[in-house]
Amino acid sequence: MITRTAHYIDGQWREAESTQTLPVSNAGDGGPLATVPAGTAAEVDAAVGAARRAFPAWAALDVAERVGFLKLAAEEMQRRQNEIALLMTQEVGMPYATSNVVQVGLPLMNLAAVQQIALDYSFEEKVYNSLVIRKPIGVVASITPWNYPLHQILCKVAPALAVGCTVVAKPSEVAPLNAFVLAEIFETIGLPAGVFNLVCGDGPTVGEAMVAHPDVDMVSFTGSTAAGKRIGEVAAATVKRVALELGGKSPLVVLDDADPVAAVTASANACYLNSGQTCIALTRLIVPASRKAEYEAIATAAAEGVKVGHPLDPTAVIGPVISETQLNRVRDYIAVGIDEGATLLAGGLDPVEGLAEEHAGGYYVRPTVFTDTTPDMRIVKEEIFGPVLVIQTYETEDEAVALANDTVYGLNAGVYSADVDRAVAFARRLDSGQVQINDGAFNIHAPFGGVKQSGNGRELGDAGFEDFLDTTSLQLP
């Protein structure tokens, strides 16, 4: 049992003012894993004050000095990689081998990418008679989710620190332990006091206090669309910059010349990774109507071939969902799909078989496939955030485009075709912040973010770096 009693504010661990704590459960067996402090508005104010005081000196450092701290942080994180991966396996439920590569490896890649961007970036340029300078925006409030928690924190914190901003971070209270380790790493490497601050707590208390605070210059948020809308409302009172990475209901369109097995394999991998708890999960498989039965059979076999098990079981492909709340949400959606008249091909509400008795309390869901769906069904329209795939069919490419774009979201999409040029031409017609062509891998160096109700702003790459900069034009004689 891990007990955290302090927030990290102004370079030191500050004991929580409130005796109220928040429980963290072990996703694999449902038992208690940790308790963390429930922060208050007063602690947010202290953290923001520390960040504000630290900002001038941090922003004045040469970029190479700031990057040096990120390099030291990466080295310390790599030294502790196995420990962090095990911790996150318990928190999130992703199998350990995958967690080591994704939940810790991806943040390490991001730290390396940000260092290079910062060193290569031109903070000034001459535009006719103007000198255009880019300066750090100031104090950044970073509010992050639980599905890829350390990755999401560093998507915000690393570029913010690199450009010269200071940060107050609020991790998800569902999976906060990795953020405490990150704070320990910053303390170990001697990051100046106040540059990074951590206040743990819930959204209505800590999150809202951060967003509303007049000394916060920018809010960078990843989470649900509903929460993002609320952040936009609160932030509008002080007209601060807001960057939002929100929900998705992402389609994978399979064109009629594609290899069905390759396409469905890609769909299953993208849908079921992290037990479906991925904002860019390709959860809608859109296939030619003439080959519907073929795709249904392949998708059923793919889902039934995914081994669900305890996250420390080396044979498990996916583990549990993160919490009892999430388990109930996913099961409710499966029940809704059945009630709506969709045909259940695989998975469903039956419990996962083969679990050891001591793991029976974990939050396990069978990989599920629905077909015979209609665009108005909730399982087609709403983000489930669990291992649930829905099949849709089309007659023409125009209909396929219409089905893919028939969503309030626009975070991710996929296209599969034997002809890459054809797939790219189709992808250009999709309303999405990114589109995966065939087996195109996630690119840590490319801009990431959504359109429509999937958010605004971008993370990663130069665009994510620039989100934390203000621009001033000096008009020269």
- What counts of helices (H) and strands (E) characterise the chain? 16, 21
The model's confidence at residue 343, banded by pLDDT at 50, 70 and 90, is very high
- Is 353 a known active-site residue? no
Q: Which residue has the tokens 């840590």?
A: 444
**Residue % of the chain over a pLDDT of 90:** 99
The answer to whether position 60 is within a domain reads: yes
Q: 240 with 301, same domain? A: no
Q: 69 with 194, same domain? A: yes
Q: 93 with 145, same domain? A: yes
Q: Does the pLDDT value for residue 360 go beyond 90?
A: no
Q: 182 with 284, same domain? A: no
Farthest CA pair distance, the chain: 78
Rg over alpha carbons for the chain, rounded to the nearest Å, is: 23
Contact 316, 334 (CB under 8 A): no
Cβ-proximal residues to 45 (8 Å cutoff; 6+ apart), any chain: 209, 213
Contact 467, 243 (CB under 8 A): yes
Q: 265 with 409, same domain? A: yes
302 sits in the region (left: phi over 0; alpha: psi -120 to 50; else beta) called alpha
How far is residue 373 from each of residues 45, 296, 390, 430, measured CA to CA in Å? Answer: 49, 12, 7, 21
For residue 348, the number of C-alpha atoms closer than 13 Å in the C-beta half-sphere is 10
Q: 352 with 204, same domain? A: no
Q: 465 with 393, same domain? A: no
Q: Residues 43, 279, 383, 459: which is the catalytic one? A: 279
Q: 429 with 461, same domain? A: no
Average pLDDT over residues 256-269: 96
How many domains, in total, are found in the chain?
2
The answer to whether position 449 is within a domain reads: no
Long-range contacts at 224-227 (CB < 8 A, ≥ 24 apart): 225/383, 225/408, 225/409, 225/453, 225/454, 225/455, 227/203
How far is residue 332 from each of residues 147, 328, 366, 388, 411, measured CA to CA in Å? Answer: 20, 6, 13, 12, 24
Contact 103, 150 (CB under 8 A): yes
CATH number of the domain at 125, please: 3.40.605.10
Helix (H) or strand (E) holding 437: strand 435-437
Q: Does the pLDDT value for residue 328 go beyond 90?
A: yes
Predicted local confidence at residue 315, as pLDDT: 95
456 secondary structure, DSSP code: E
Q: 213 with 193, same domain? A: yes
The answer to whether position 13 is within a domain reads: yes
How many C-beta neighbours within 10 Å does residue 472 have?
Answer: 11
pLDDT single digits (tens) 375-413:
999 999 999 999 999 999 999 999 999 999 999 999 999
The model's confidence at residue 439, banded by pLDDT at 50, 70 and 90, is confident
The answer to whether position 240 is within a domain reads: yes
The answer to whether position 329 is within a domain reads: yes
Measured distance CA(466)–CA(443) in Å, rounded:
18
The answer to whether position 349 is within a domain reads: yes
373 strand-pairing partners: none
Contact 252, 267 (CB under 8 A): yes
Q: Is 268 helix (H, G, I), strand (E, B) or coil?
A: helix
Predicted local confidence at residue 340, as pLDDT: 97
Q: 406 with 289, same domain? A: yes
Average pLDDT over residues 136-159: 98
The answer to whether position 334 is within a domain reads: yes
For residue 321, the number of C-alpha atoms closer than 13 Å in the C-beta half-sphere is 24
Q: Residues 173, 245, 383, 466: which is the catalytic one? A: 245
**Residue % of the chain over a pLDDT of 70:** 100
CATH number of the domain at 309, please: 3.40.309.10
Q: 214 with 298, same domain? A: no
Mean pLDDT, the chain, rounded, equals 97
Predicted local confidence at residue 389, as pLDDT: 98
Q: Is 371 helix (H, G, I), strand (E, B) or coil?
A: strand
Of 240, 233, 280, nearest to 450 by C-alpha is 280
Average pLDDT over residues 436-461: 96
pLDDT single digits (tens) 55-113:
999 999 999 999 999 999 999 999 999 999 999 999 999 999 999 999 999 999 999 99
In the sheet with 124-127, reading across from the earlier edge strand, the strands are 124-127, 130-136, 469-475
Q: Which residues constitute the domain of residue 200?
A: 2-246+454-475
Predicted local confidence at residue 412, as pLDDT: 98
pLDDT single digits (tens) 31-46:
999 999 999 999 999 9
154 secondary structure, DSSP code: H
Predicted local confidence at residue 434, as pLDDT: 97
Q: Does the pLDDT value for residue 202 go beyond 90?
A: yes
The answer to whether position 57 is within a domain reads: yes
pLDDT single digits (tens) 304-325:
999 999 999 999 999 999 999 9
- Is 279 a known active-site residue? yes
Between β-strands 469-475 and 130-136, what pairing exists: parallel, antiparallel or unpaired?
antiparallel
Measured distance CA(216)–CA(187) in Å, rounded:
23
Residue 204's Cβ-count burial label (10 Å; 0-12, 13-18, 19+) is exposed
Q: 318 with 370, same domain? A: yes
SS (H, E, C) 160-183: HHHHCCEEEEECCCCCCHHHHHHH
Contact 308, 294 (CB under 8 A): no
Q: Is 198 helix (H, G, I), strand (E, B) or coil?
A: strand
Measured distance CA(379)–CA(237) in Å, rounded:
36
Q: What is the pTM of this model?
A: 0.96
How many C-beta neighbours within 10 Å does residue 248 have?
Answer: 28
